[in-house]
Amino acid sequence: MRIFTMVQWSPYIVGILIGALNLVAMLLSDKVLGASTSYAKASGMVRNFFDKEYVKKNEFYLQNAINIDWGFMLVVGIIIGAFISAALSNDFSLVLVPNMWANEISNSFFVRFIIAVFGGIVLGIGSRWAGGCTSGHGISGTSQLSVLSWVASIFFFIGGIATAFLIYGF
């Protein structure tokens, strides 16, 4: 099956299939695609390991139960699915520093690592503040016609585009 061994498909085909997958999730699981909440649950699990009392009293974790649920398994599945696709198309390779960053900024893994952790922290705070991420708001919320999701998604890109130009120049 050549289709499975192709490295890249048309973005429109991929988008249509993700849209269909979202409908299947709504029908079979009463859920929508979204990833960021699982990281909040993971943060609660880590915190719970060190300090159970803290998690028991924390308002955020009281409102957002820290358990392994459908959404958590979804993120685990994403890793496996991407690996299967990459392996089938001979596209799997261990990368320490992405090409564009290495060519234009620095090929030091240490620098990339520090920036990635920093970026991740900012992303984690932002996704909880906005209440979702590129999938939860950007695809699922917008397609359910949530005004908040449309506003959040537009500002994801405003912030992202501005920052990308600051990092790489105009």
Partner 1 sequence: MTKLHENKNMQLFLGLLMGIVFGFLLHKGGVSKYDIILAQLRLTDFTVLKIMLSAVIVTMLGISYLYPKGMVKIQVKPGSIKNSIIGGLIFGVGFATLGYCPGTIAAAVGNGYLDGLIGGMIGIIIGSGIYAAFYSDWKKKRLITEDKYSSLSMFDSMKGNPFRYTLPFSAILVIFMIILEIAEL
Give residues 91-120 in contact with partner 1 (rule: CB under 8 A). 91-101, 109, 112-120
Distance CA 140, CA 153 (A): 11
Beta carbon nearer to partner 1, 11 or 53: 11
Name the minimum Å distance from CB 36 to partner 1: 4
Name the minimum Å distance from CB 12 to partner 1: 5
Which residue of 2, 49, 65, 129 would you call a contact of partner 1, by CB under 8 A?
129
Site string for partner 1, 13-42 (x = CB under 8 A): -xxxxxxxxxxxxxxxxxxxxxxx-xxx-x
Burial 22-59 (b: 16+ CB within 10 A, else e): beebeeeeeebbbbbbbbbbebbeeebeeeeeebeebe
Contact yes or no for 88/4 (Cβ under 8 A): yes
Contact yes or no for 75/35 (Cβ under 8 A): yes
Name the minimum Å distance from CB 53 to partner 1: 14
Beta carbon nearer to partner 1, 23 or 52: 23
Other beta carbons within 10 Å of 60 = 12
Beta carbon nearer to partner 1, 52 or 165: 165
Map the footprint of partner 1 across residues 51-80, applying CB under 8 A. 58-61, 68-80
Count interface residues toward partner 1 (CB under 8 A).
Answer: 127
SS3 state of residue 80? helix
Name the minimum Å distance from CB 52 to partner 1: 15
User: Which residue in 13, 33, 27, 9 sits closest to 143, CA to CA?
Assistant: 33
Map the footprint of partner 1 across residues 134-163, applying CB under 8 A. 134-149, 151-163
Residue type for position 31: K
Determine, following the binding rule CB under 8 A, whether residue 48 of this chain makes contact with partner 1.
Answer: no
Contact yes or no for 42/35 (Cβ under 8 A): no
Name the minimum Å distance from CB 15 to partner 1: 3
